[in-house]
Amino acid sequence: MLLFSCCKNKSKIIGSDKEIAINLAEKVWKEAYGKSEINGQKPFVAEKKNDSIWIVHGTFNKTGFGGVAYAEVNVKKQKVITYTHGE
């Protein structure tokens, strides 16, 4: 479940650090690579790197060549630090 506050500042995502990391990564991936491409990489995997940084990546569900989306997310600042997509 996602909850957003309604105030002048940017909305903060409420949830566990893992949920926050996945939701932020998914949002930037869909904007950059398209909804259908990213939806095809579910389930997403999130692994804790340290107290504030989580590594999030998609799952390779296709046969043949290709890659998955990857992101590093600072859950304390609720900001995607970097993202990319393998080929």
pLDDT of residue 66: 79
* Greater pLDDT, 58 or 64: 58
Beta strands in the chain (DSSP E): 45-48, 53-57, 69-74, 79-85
- pLDDT confidence bin for 7, thresholds 50/70/90: very low
Structure tokens at 50: 């340290």
- pLDDT confidence bin for 61, thresholds 50/70/90: confident
CB-neighbour burial class of residue 82 (10 A; exposed 0-12, middle 13-18, buried 19+): exposed
Q: What is the CA radius of gyration of the chain?
A: 13
